[in-house]
Amino acid sequence: MKKKRPSLVEKAGKFLQDKAISRKEFGRWLLGAAGGAAAASTLGCSPPNSGTRDDNLEPDVSHDFEAVIVGSGFGGSVAAARLSKKWPNQVMMIERGRRYPRGSFPRDAASLVEAIRRDPGDHTPRPLPLPGKSNGLFDVRSYSGMDVLVANGYGGGSLIYGAALIEPSHPDFDRNWPATIKKDQLAPYYDIFKTVVTAGKIPITDEPERRLPRLDYYERVAQQTGGESKLLPLGVFFGNDPERPTPMGESEVNRHGVEQTSCVYCAECVLGCNYHAKSSTDLNYLHVAEHRYGMHVRTEQKVDRIVPLDSFGDDDPGQDGRYGYRVYMRDADASTGQPSESSATTRRVVLSAGVLGTTEILLRNKKKHRTLPRVSRQLGRHFSGNGDFLGLVVGSDIPDGNAHGPTVVQSILYNDPNRPEVSHVLEDMSLPHLFKVLDWLLDACEFNGPMYGFWKRIKDIITADGDDINSGFATQVFVGLDNSDGEFSLGWHGELRLNWSYWGSRQLYQAIIRRIEDVKRAVAGWAEFYLPTYTWPLRRNLTVHPLGGCALADHRYRGVTSAHRNNFGEVFGYTNLYVADGSLVPSAIGANPSLTISAFAEMVAEGITGIPATVDL
């Protein structure tokens, strides 16, 4: 008798039984049959030829949030305000550091040491085995050829930046950038950011307490060295009326409902402003997102894994993000033992953890956890230190008052249109009064007899004649167009590594060193100094403006994120996964990058929300 052939239904049933596949898995396979290679491989079948999933199929998944933003620096803050306005109470911010309310920034030696970020047992490269705490404000890294200092706190780099809002000035800084992100496209967003933070130049008044002798000093330097001097817009609060500055030390409520103090000229911007006079993003963008639009904030949490979801809401690294993501986080404080892990699901993720944080998260998820395998191979490339360099000139002709005022108030441009590789910008820099520094040391040693006596004697000797011990020297910071050829990778323990060589940018640094010598001659100084680590044989530089790692590009073969306006900042290979921080920047910009990072973040937010950016948050 001829054997009856099994029906199609019977074949399917036996297939499921042989493969031990659940109905849910079978449903997932059916949904992906039109193009889900990963689902087919799960079933042990050959993948379909090509195509995409049927977008008309209704996914069986709900999300905890419309968006999860990782990191709260300039880019994350802008994205937080814009996305929270679009989706009130449906956005979550995850920040590795802690909050810093008014008066909470460290101001003595003991607390400054504790303010260095240091996780027990971590393998992050450091210049020294520094003490500190896992939630410390200052994150110091030491890589091959480059040391990096970034911030760790709610507000990110805005907490410790020098408050100078500088637009790139060299005509060719964007020469290799995609056409959608030239300076002309960025300029409107620069103006929006400056308006939101109530930026203004240093008030020029007859008030003695606002007098800054270094203004005339650097004007003379510019004239004698062939540069162009400019007063800079500052993210510093001088009052709500730019024409009539509020008296120093008096408070007003800013346009976002936060009380700020008119700048007291303490020169402590880079340590964190204890007066809330510096307009860090926790006093504007983040405040609006949290208090007006109900953004959920989780501080002292570190993101570990980001996993795409399938149409049933399960983790599936084979997906492309169209069904959303699950974000895994853990306590950032590793000193309490095994950190607890939690997770949240979201339709979209915006990575704004800074150059180091965002690049490390993506590298770990691509190469270690393998949850985001489609990220471009360009990941980690095009790192730039933005040409950062530090100089010091000593001489009797240098005026007093170098511990007075905001950290940076003016710049001198030395742009050569024909030689961008040696063009640079000089910025003045004020530092906290050395009397205060000595007092901090004395406070820290108060209960240590020998050390207290030592620092007390030093202070008595230095201050014996009552002179301003900050006079007689002038500190300059430089930025320029370095070669942007560094590359990040992962170390043995999954920690971020950087390979960078000064050789590719040595023309720039040699030009800056010559400029420091020019300044010394212009003011009849008797000595000049620069970073001791840059001298042979170390040849190490220091940057506080790291850029790159997830560069914008027209195609995945040239970068990591899309420069197309309809999906600006989206990670190639994924949907609903974005980057909005300094890692987007394709190369050095030769200016402090806060404005440019914020402009990019506005463009990312526009693409996500479909709402054009305005000065109204």
pLDDT score of 495: 86
Question: What contacts 210, CB < 8 A, 6 or more positions away?
Answer: 202, 203, 245, 248, 265
Percent of the chain with pLDDT over 90: 63
Q: Enumerate domains of the chain plus CATH numbers.
A: 75-203+273-385+545-609 (3.50.50.60)
Residue 343 pLDDT: 96
Cα 579 from chain centroid? 11
Residue 30 CB contacts under 8 Å (≥ 6 apart), including other chains? none
Around Cβ 366, how many Cβ atoms within 10 Å? 20
Look at residue 578 and tell me whether its pLDDT is greater than 50.
yes
Tokens 């999933």 map to which residue? 53
pTM: 0.86
Residue 121 banded pLDDT, cuts 50, 70, 90: low
Q: How confident is the model at residue 530 (pLDDT cuts 50, 70, 90)?
A: confident
What does the mean pLDDT of the chain come to? 85
Q: Would you place residue 127 in the very low, low, confident or very high pLDDT band (cuts 50, 70, 90)?
A: low
Q: Which of 147-161, 193-207, 429-443, 504-518 has the lowest mean pLDDT?
A: 429-443
Q: What is the mean pLDDT of residues 76-91?
A: 98
pLDDT tens column, 5-14 = 555 545 555 5
Flag whether pLDDT at 407 surpasses 90. yes
Provide mean pLDDT across the span 165-181: 94
In this model, does residue 313 exceed pLDDT 80? yes
pLDDT of residue 588: 97
Q: Where are the alpha helices (DSSP H) in 569-614?
A: 594-609
pLDDT over 90 at 422, yes or no: yes
Residue 538, pLDDT score = 75
Q: Which amino acid is at 599?
A: A
**So what's the pLDDT on residue 469?**
54
**pLDDT higher than threshold 80 for residue 155:** yes
The pLDDT, as a whole number, for residue 374 is 97
User: Are 524 and 501 spatial neighbours (Cβ–Cβ below 8 Å)?
Assistant: no
Pairwise CA distance, residues 304 & 308, whole Å: 14
Tokens of 263: 């700048």
pLDDT at 574 over 80: yes
pLDDT at 394 over 70: yes
Average pLDDT of the segment spanning 60-79:
94
Range picked from 133-147, 305-319, 536-550 for highest mean pLDDT: 305-319
DSSP string covering 205-228: -S-GGG--THHHHHHHHHHHHT-E
Count CB neighbours of 431 within 10 A: 17
Q: What is 301-322 written as a DSSP string?
A: EEEEEEEEB-TTS-B-TTS-ST
* Predicted pLDDT at 308: 98
User: Confidence band (pLDDT; 50, 70, 90) for 398?
Assistant: confident
| Least-confidence region, from 172-176, 525-529, 535-539 | 535-539
Span 245-254, average pLDDT: 94
Top pLDDT among 46 and 513 is at 513
How would you class 532 by CB atoms within 10 Å of its CB: exposed for 0-12, middle for 13-18, buried for 19 or more?
A: exposed
Query: Higher-confidence residue: 600 or 539?
Result: 600
E strand map for 352-451: 389-394, 410-414, 424-429
Which range among 187-201, 384-398, 528-542 shows the weakest confidence by mean pLDDT?
528-542
What's the alpha-carbon Rg for the chain, to the nearest Å? 27
Whole-number Cα distances in Å, 60 to 27, 31, 311, 324:
11, 11, 5, 12
Which CA distances in Å does 40 have to 25, 28, 140, 236, 370?
11, 9, 46, 57, 18
Least confident window among 84-93, 174-183, 519-528, 560-569: 519-528
Average pLDDT over residues 585-604: 97
| pLDDT above 50: residue 47 | no
**Listed range (15-24, 190-199, 311-320, 362-371) with the worst mean pLDDT:** 15-24
Write down the pLDDT at residue 213.
Answer: 85
What's the pLDDT band for 16 if we cut at 50, 70, 90?
A: very low
Closest CA to 496 of 549, 562, 561, 557: 549
* Backbone phi and psi for residue 498, each to the nearest 5 degrees, phi listed first: -135, 130
State the pLDDT at residue 39: 36
Which one, of 416, 422, 413, lies nearest residue 511 by Cα?
Answer: 422
Q: What pLDDT is stored for residue 471 in this prediction?
A: 62
The mean per-residue pLDDT over the stretch 369-387 comes to 97
- Report whether 108 contacts 443 (CB < 8 A): yes
Query: 255 near 242, Cβ under 8 Å?
Result: no
CA-based nearest residue to 277, from 248, 237, 233: 237
Q: Is 70 exceeded by the pLDDT of residue 503?
A: yes
- Check if the beta carbon of residue 122 is closer than 8 Å to that of residue 492: no
- Is pLDDT at 196 greater than 70 in this prediction? yes
Q: How confident is the model at residue 493 (pLDDT cuts 50, 70, 90)?
A: confident
Collapsing DSSP states into helix, strand and coil, what is residue 511? helix
**341 is written with which tokens?**
């892990």
The string of pLDDT tens digits covering residues 445-486 is 554 555 556 556 655 655 555 545 556 778 899 999 999 999
ω into 537 cis (within 30 of 0): yes
Over range 163-180, report the average pLDDT.
Answer: 94
Which one is predicted more confidently, 299 or 145? 299
With the CA atoms of 397, 403, 406 and 412 taken in that order, what torsion angle do they form, in degrees rounded to the nearest 10? 20
What is residue 513's predicted lDDT score, i.e. its pLDDT? 94
